[in-house]
Amino acid sequence: MTLFNKIKEITEIQATSGYEAPMRDYLRARMMELGYTPETDGLGGIFVTKESKTENAPRVMVAAHMDEVGFMVSSIKADGTLRVVTLGGWNPLVVSAQRFTLFTREGKKIPVVTGGLPPHLLRGAAGAPAMPQVEDIIFDGGFMSKEEVLEFGIRQGDVIVPESEAILTANGKNVISKAWDNRYGCLMVLELLDYLKDKELPVTLIIGANVQEEVGLRGAHVSTTQFKPEVFFAVDCSPATDTFGNDNGRLGEGSLLRYYDPGHIMLPGMKDFLLNTAEVNGIKTQAYISKGGTDAGAAHLQNEGVPSTTIGVCARYIHSHQTIFNMDDFTEAQNFIRAIVTTLNQEKIAAIKNY
Ligand SMILES: [Zn+2]
């Protein structure tokens, strides 16, 4: 399967926070095909433990998150339209005039669109329309009444997930899809498990994906207390700012070295380890200072302190139906995580901690 086909398959899966089963089932099936035995944590995170034969091998975790941003139905109106609350961060300006899938409790998939205000209705209005609030945006499945909505099994609490087909850009280098945040990480994890199938390492690796990252890094608290890693690597996708005239996160410039975000500072020992590993292995990297967060922010505060970082890539316009990202960046990040897990040993981990 080509890289694009793998990306298409994994980004078109629809799974939002708390309702990650479609993504978890996919991960479980692929993990088992590769000969691993995955386990889940109490909230639904899924992980494979690849035990080292080395005595007292340090435990190292590599974790994606499997949820994508979505919505939950908060009310059903008499006219048959729906209103929602957000699951994860949404810019109201990218919510309107899009296509979504609503999942009912019985597992029915219902097509829904968000109402856009046609220009005809704006004619004659005084001044520019105000910034929309997500709770006012109309989610419309074409139902004629509340009764009809209920007949189709739709209830408050059902989730709504973006629907968007992944395509290649004309130059064949980039992809347009939804949810590269963080199906990037999920694909990284599966490819890493494939690469490590027949390798024996001096560290025990716990590799998989957390739940509920988009609503506040919740799954990472749970999985790190269950699997007790000494060192933690999130694999996650961050916003590119190149098209906005900034230099944090440029497409095609390689994997991100995430030195700072509001919830995490990369410690000097980790910085040395990453820079050395990238140099020795010829990995293309770029510095990244972030305004957002990743599971590294939650993980590093667990179990008496867990040195953590994020092995990331950037994508333009994340948390929307149409993000753009570079396939070579994925390959760089993939080579980077391979080099990291095969370089790590007791001594290297001691150096990361004793900076
Ligand atoms: Zn995100």
Instruction: Tell me whether residue 214 is annotated as binding.
Output: yes
Instruction: Tell me whether residue 236 is annotated as binding.
Output: yes
Residues of the chain with pLDDT under 70: 118-130
Q: Which of 213, 230, 253, 332 is catalytic?
A: 213
Q: Please report which residue ranges of the chain form alpha helices under DSSP H.
A: 3-11, 21-33, 119-122, 146-151, 180-196, 218-227, 268-281, 295-299, 327-343, 346-353
Which of the 8 DSSP states describes residue 125? -
Residue 206 CA to ligand 1 center (angstroms) comes to 22
Instruction: Tell me whether residue 120 is annotated as binding.
Output: no
pLDDT at 128: 65
Residue 9 CA to ligand 1 center (angstroms) comes to 19
Residue 182 CA to ligand 1 center (angstroms) comes to 7
Instruction: Write out the H or E segment, with its range, that includes residue 87.
Output: strand 82-87
Reported pTM: 0.96
Residue 319 CA to ligand 1 center (angstroms) comes to 6
pLDDT at 45: 98
pLDDT at 125: 59
Answer whether 231's CB lies under 8 Å from 69's CB.
Answer: no
pLDDT at 247: 83
3-state DSSP assignment of residue 50: strand
Provide, for the chain, the percentages of residues in helix, strand and coil under a 3-state DSSP scheme, each rounded to the nearest 5: 30, 25, 40
* Secondary structure string (H, E, C) spanning 143-184: CCCHHHHHHCCCCCCCEEEECCCCEECCCCCEEEECCHHHHH
Is residue 106 annotated as part of the catalytic site, yes or no?
A: no
Instruction: Tell me whether residue 321 is annotated as binding.
Output: no
pLDDT at 41: 97
Q: How far is CA 96 from the centre of its chain?
A: 22
Residue 351 CA to ligand 1 center (angstroms) comes to 31
pLDDT tens digits, 171-221: 999 999 999 999 999 999 999 999 999 999 999 999 999 999 999 999 999
